[in-house]
Amino acid sequence: MEKEAFIQEVRRLKAERQAVILAHSYQLPEVQEVADFVGDSLGLAREAQRTRAKVIVFCGVHFMAETAAILNPEKTVLLPDLEAGCSLADSIRPEDVLAWKAKHPDGLVVAYVNTKAEVKALADVCVTSANAVEVVSRLPQDRPIYFVPDMFLGAHVARMTGRKLDLFPGECHVHAGIREEHLKALLETHPDAEFLIHPECGCGTGCLYLKPDAKMLSTEGMVRYAKAAERRTFVVATEVGILHRLEKEAPGKAFFPVKPDAVCEYMKRITLEKVYLSLKEMRHVVRVPEEVARKARRALEAMVAVG
């Protein structure tokens, strides 16, 4: 089947199933183009919570579909490819959180949304890169905090809030691979460009040292900033899927990736054909056991309410 035929079939089946298609900004361009909503983890969680559709086709990775299922127990959540996982979410186990809680009975666990449902169920609050600083800044000052699982985002939050955080040593393999040497090369090539850097990036502190006016932003923050900025040229440090959305929503501006091969192979597992098959065959339904979902829902609802 040709691309245009897939698009028409997806639209027909979407109406037939009373479905909504949600896509992350790192998805393939053709998947973003058939989605009803494209955004970051926080935006997608909010959209999943407010939709009236009976079926949610989640074009993202597994933990995102789990989040949608937790927030919408009465709806059917589909993930077009069950192998669309996440190296960061896989890095931490519930046992890691329980071990810290045993040593810090009065402590608070802040879980980045890039975690499995079982870890979220042990958290006091979930966060995204868009609202992590705001959430942590509101927590009681007299209680220890365990930030899991991304150590680079955690270091950014600690720097911005001035709070001491215990950090789990996890990382996204794509963002961790964006290093200072990649930034230096772009500094020389595009000295007048604005630099937009995701807080999960491994270059973190070093990037701010090399480029003090760089903007540390979530994916959604990058889109908002680029649209409003007077500058016409931007260097972008995150997964390259964001470039399609940036070019679409900020036309006439130029965007250059710090690392052109910063590609999440898990995100790219979702294809237009798989979205079609997901709707046609109602594959693959994502479910979370109610006992886990009930506990995780509390932490996720706290996340959605902030920022």
- The annotated binding site for [4Fe-4S] cluster is made up of 86, 172, 264
Annotated binding site: 24, 41, 86, 112-114, 129, 172, 198-200, 219, 264
CB atoms under 10 Å from CB of 52, counted, come to 7
Query: Residues within the annotated binding site for iminosuccinate?
Result: 24, 41, 112-114, 129, 198-200, 219
Between CA 207 and CA 157 the distance in angstroms is 16
Residue 184 vs residues 27, 180, 206, 276: alpha-carbon distances, Å: 27, 6, 10, 42
Kindly report the backbone phi and psi dihedral angles of residue 238, in degrees, each rounded to the nearest multiple of 5, phi listed first: -170, -175
